[in-house]
A and B are shown apart, each in its own frame.
Chain A
């Protein structure tokens, strides 16, 4: 679609220069509202325990699950609490799903190092054949067996309704289970014409010294600001109304703490590597925000807090770009309404942790409940602020598009809810490895990958540059 429009205009590159070149006005978004206030943290007191989050999550989700259970298994299905369970009685229980993983690091085992026991090696994946699923409600917990595929679930933390009966040895045999349905969705009031796009990129990975990705990055900036290509490309680029950079703007190497292990006299005059990377990021942002509104989300390796929800990067790190009002520094996860279309964007720390747990790589295509909570495994495997009033990660409104950044490949799926909700789930690939970004058409909600690459072959003498759609 993007390239079709570009191809419609004739080629103008090799024409003689004219006195006044053509100019293209960028389309302006008519409405943009940032709805991420609930992810901003005011006072931060870590004196609380995390039990409050789980309790409020269960209380908030329980009515929805009971309704779904009644729809699925009949109006007169018995919904009981764990303390009221009778042996052999078939009923439905609503609670939090917890996955007990042997390989998950435990603070108690770390403390046991003092007793000269072997420390646990850091692992990439926590799943094992011996994992167990446990259902917890407000007061008790019970082990789940049969009927439910343990390997299908990433971490725990989601609220689930199980239908089955309790066995003699105190375990619950599951016949069937269900999650809450998608929350109600407001109708989409997108723009009428087909000419509005949003560009999404994530995982820029600056500071790693990877020349290919830097070239790709510059090509992206040039394309968006209209300095690349002939009039066809430029007019298409003018239809990009917004750019969103979804996390991991700095690369993993920025997190290295080598200087901590070295002696002080060796590291006195050295600067942290991330300083250079942030300067580079500032230059890129200046170029982008001079021309197009930009939203910047922090990611796992960016200089902001580790616990979810990550707070926006501080504007004093970007002295050049912060002057422009078009640059917005936002939280991760990020919820916004752009031209009547509701988005939820997340720079995926969550998916990184989910990869630590499941066997299936395309987790996005599996569970719909990913749309209802942005981070079910917080605070179990993912650090999180101890909220007490409400769990802000439970989405009350169904978004139209749900993005997840820093995925290994570009993937797209449309999910339909029971009440006619339609959500587009998109995994944005990591730019530093794939040099691919995403273009979303705001009217039809179609998503298209756009990749920038340079072919550098040592045998051939000329380098071919390729901007492909």
Chain B
């Protein structure tokens, strides 16, 4: 485009339409397949978001369980062992914490308190 200003050529010589400068772009109609794909992607993103929030809140519950000093030190033993110890000593630890740990038995984040910063994958 020619940006040099010439007084004569301020107005186009021909009677032009605005669509000469701003070309009209026809909105392409998406095919059904592409629409579905997009919707699926959005849903996946939403689910991931929900899961992440769930993970955060679960870990928060477990963190509160760890920091509850009544049950003794939390480093060096797994959460399940600590829960069982509290149970044996008669301190009545909450059952939902145990269920939570058992539901995610294979996840190392749930299993033990890590000393240091917790890295949550985003």
Chain A residues within CB distance 8 Å of chain B: 47-49, 51-52, 55-56, 59-60, 138-139, 386, 388-390
Stretch in B1-9, B54-62, B77-85, B103-111 with 4+ CB within 8 Å of A: B77-85
Q: Which of A47, A60, A388 has the most CB of B within 10 A?
A: A388
Contacting pair B76 A49 (CB below 8 A): yes
Contacting pair B73 A52 (CB below 8 A): yes
Contacting pair A55 B73 (CB below 8 A): yes
The 5 closest A-B pairs by CB, nearest first: A55-B72, A48-B76, A51-B73, A59-B89, A388-B77
Question: For the complex, what is the distance from the CA of A55 to the CA of B85, rounded to whole Å?
Answer: 11
Question: For the complex, what is the distance from the CA of A386 to the CA of B73, rounded to whole Å?
Answer: 13
Q: A138-B70, A139-B69 are in contact. List 13 more A-B contacts (CB 8 A).
A: A48-B77, A49-B73, A49-B76, A55-B73, A56-B72, A59-B72, A59-B91, A386-B76, A388-B85, A389-B81, A389-B84, A389-B85, A389-B88
Can you list, as one digit per residue, whether each of B20-47 has a CB less than 8 Å from chain A (1) or not (0)? 0000000000000000000000000000
Residue B75 interfacial (CB < 8 Å): yes
Give the nearest-CB partner of B89 in chain A. A59
User: With a CB–CB cut-off of 8 A, which chain A residues contact B88?
Assistant: 389-390
Q: Mind listing 15 A-B residue pairs with CB under 8 Å?
A: A49-B75, A49-B76, A51-B72, A51-B76, A55-B72, A56-B72, A56-B89, A59-B72, A59-B89, A59-B91, A139-B69, A388-B81, A388-B85, A389-B81, A390-B88
User: With a CB–CB cut-off of 8 A, which chain B residues contact A56?
Assistant: 72, 85, 89
Question: For the complex, what is the distance from the CA of A138 to the CA of B88, rounded to whole Å?
Answer: 18
Question: For the complex, what is the distance from the CA of A388 to the CA of B75, rounded to whole Å?
Answer: 11
Contacting pair B89 A388 (CB below 8 A): no
User: With a CB–CB cut-off of 8 A, which chain A residues contact B91?
Assistant: 59
Question: For the complex, what is the distance from the CA of A55 to the CA of B91, rounded to whole Å?
Answer: 13
Question: For the complex, what is the distance from the CA of A48 to the CA of B82, rounded to whole Å?
Answer: 13
Nearest CB of A to B12, in Å: 82
User: With a CB–CB cut-off of 8 A, which chain B residues contact A386?
Assistant: 76
Our pick among B69, B72, B84 for the contact of A52 (Cβ within 8 Å) is B72
Nearest CB of A to B74, in Å: 10
Question: For the complex, what is the distance from the CA of A139 to the CA of B77, rounded to whole Å?
Answer: 19
Asked if A138 meets B76 with Cβ closer than 8 Å, knowing A59-B91, A389-B85, the reply is no
Question: For the complex, what is the distance from the CA of A47 to the CA of B89, rounded to whole Å?
Answer: 23
User: With a CB–CB cut-off of 8 A, which chain A residues contact B84?
Assistant: 389
Give the nearest-CB partner of A139 in chain B. B69
User: With a CB–CB cut-off of 8 A, which chain A residues contact B85?
Assistant: 56, 388-390
Nearest CB of A to B20, in Å: 77
User: With a CB–CB cut-off of 8 A, which chain A residues contact B77?
Assistant: 48, 52, 388
Contacting pair B76 A52 (CB below 8 A): yes
Q: Which of B70, B85, B88, B91 has the most CB of A within 10 A?
A: B85
Question: For the complex, what is the distance from the CA of A388 to the CA of B88, rounded to whole Å?
Answer: 12
User: With a CB–CB cut-off of 8 A, which chain B residues contact A52?
Assistant: 72-73, 76-77
Question: For the complex, what is the distance from the CA of A60 to the CA of B91, rounded to whole Å?
Answer: 10
Give the nearest-CB partner of A52 in chain B. B73
Q: Which of A47, A48, A389, A390 has the most CB of B within 10 A?
A: A389
Give the nearest-CB partner of B85 in chain A. A389
Q: Which of B73, B75, B81 has the most CB of A within 10 A?
A: B73
Question: For the complex, what is the distance from the CA of A138 to the CA of B71, rounded to whole Å?
Answer: 10
Nearest CB of A to B34, in Å: 54
Question: For the complex, what is the distance from the CA of A48 to the CA of B84, rounded to whole Å?
Answer: 17
Question: For the complex, what is the distance from the CA of A60 to the CA of B75, rounded to whole Å?
Answer: 20
User: With a CB–CB cut-off of 8 A, which chain B residues contact A388?
Assistant: 76-77, 81, 85
Contacting pair B89 A138 (CB below 8 A): no
User: With a CB–CB cut-off of 8 A, which chain A residues contact B75?
Assistant: 49
Asked if A138 meets B69 with Cβ closer than 8 Å, knowing A52-B76, A60-B89, A389-B88, the reply is yes
User: With a CB–CB cut-off of 8 A, which chain B residues contact A51?
Assistant: 72-73, 76
